Each structure stands twice: as C-alpha cells, then as structure tokens.
Chains A and B, each alone.
Chain A
C-alpha cells in the first residue's frame, strides 16, 4: 500500500530509493559540481571518458531533495555510453521525460542535473583542449 502514496511517480521513487551510479570515480576525467547548500541543492557529477570520447562511466553525489537525487541518478544513466557531443545535448527535459515527469515545483532539480553534466564535461574539455577543438568543430558542422 505504501507505494501508492508517494509524492513522486514510481520511476522517480525508484531512482531515489535505488539510486544508480551513486558515489565518486577514482581518477575521474571530468568533475562538475553545481548548486549551493543555501539554495537547498548541490550536485556533483564525475565522469570517466575513454580515448574515443565516449563516457564509459558516471557517478553522482547530491545534497538535495528526492527529485534532486533521482534527477542526478537518471542523468548519469542517460550519459553513460554517450559521446561527449551527445552528452552535451542532454537537456533537463530529457531527464524529466526519462523520469516520467516531475512536479512543477521540482523542475529546477532536472536543470541542475543538466548543468552538472555540462560542468563535468567542460571540466574534461578544459583538461583536454585537443578534444575541445574537435567537439567545437563537430557541433559547428552538425
């Protein structure tokens, strides 16, 4: 019965109660941390990126509400296996859709997840300027 009465839909609840990819990555290739405790949410995303520019692993740590945790969990799932270019195109809307929806007042959590992913990728690209050039070219030609 308890399952019937939750503030979030079953997908969100599942990602909150059984978060995927929670934790850190040793030797992460890119780390992004966004948000602030004063605003109620901090998200940190760590990425492992292989030489061919594919995200081979992703982890998150989150201080925040249930939908912040679920959004981080889902975001890491969404980017795993994607190329940098593809991952850069993941939007908060993709996160919300994959979660089957979030309450209106919680949409900012998905925005934070998008920003954390982007921040982690930027961190990687800062450390690897050669890839940054390629990504820029590719996205221009796209």
Chain B
C-alpha cells in the first residue's frame, strides 16, 4: 500500500543522524520533525533565522515574535541561536546544513528540481528554495510519485521552470525510495504491497530496478 504523508515523513526521519543540522521545507518535510528517533539530537534550521527550532508552542507559549519560515508560531530548544536572514542564507550557502528536505513538483533523472512556478498560474515566488538547492550538500525530495492528474513527477527532464540543477540526491515518495545516479533513478526501496511494475509505470524518467527491491520499513 502506498505510504501516506506521515509514512513518507517517517521514512525520511530514518535518514537523520545524530548531530545533523537540518532544514525542512513546508508541507510533508515539516512533519519529519515529529519522528526524530529519541536516541539522537538533530538541530532544525529555519531560514528566517533560527537554529534549534522546537515544536509548536502551547497556547501559553505562543510568542508573536517567534515564527518559522512557514510563518507558523514555534518554540526554541535549549541551546538555540537566533540570527538574521542574511546570516541564515550565509550558512546555507556555505554548505553548513547537513540535510535539506524539500517538496517538489517535478524531479528529473539527473537531479534537477522544479518546485516554484507553474506557467499560467499566479507566481508567488521562490522564497528560499533556489538558495537551498544551489548550496545544500544533501537534498532529499519528499513528494507524491504522481501529480493529482496521475502523471509522473519523476521525469527525463523537468517541464516546469526549474529551481536548481543536478542537486537532488534522493527522493522519497508514497511509492518508493529512489537515489539519483549517473544512470537515472535507482530504485532502493518500495512501499510494502506496491509492485515494481506500478513504480515503473509511474516513473517517466529512466528507472533502474535491481533484482530485489526491499520494502520500506517504517
């Protein structure tokens, strides 16, 4: 059965390692913070100026002066640091963030990503996405395998305006875990009960299927 968004977030949380500094995009990526293993410490960055973002506040803790990049009220963990936007993107640009998790509209088989603009629709802007994808050492895309029309979001080349070139390292969808390789999308894991044929049929870009593809364990 395909994973739901919580399942995708749980699988991504398995990528976390102790001591990592992590930037989570809006949407499914934000959910990853809920599944950090108890045994490790992960520091979340928010690009509006937080290192050490904590969970949402209780009603009593709500502070209008403290929001995340999604403009939601948040809290700080002990040992948090605050800074301005210029400093925040300086650390992003300098490659200090260990892991970046983003949503996407399309990913190409060489790791290009499109996630900011649909021609003909109101363009809201790229926010910090272009900065993140241009500099992050390790980018995981969290998304559904297909768009609402059922069309593959894993393509030979992006059809939408791109956000960045050759930057995605791994994709975790409702159906599969895939790595970007020199030869295309490498199928690493599949959702339990989902067939490799279904993944093949929903992946338009070049897909490499090893003989045995293990199930995602969550």
The answer on A and B forming one complex is no
User: Which residues does B use to contact A, with CB under 8 Å?
Assistant: none
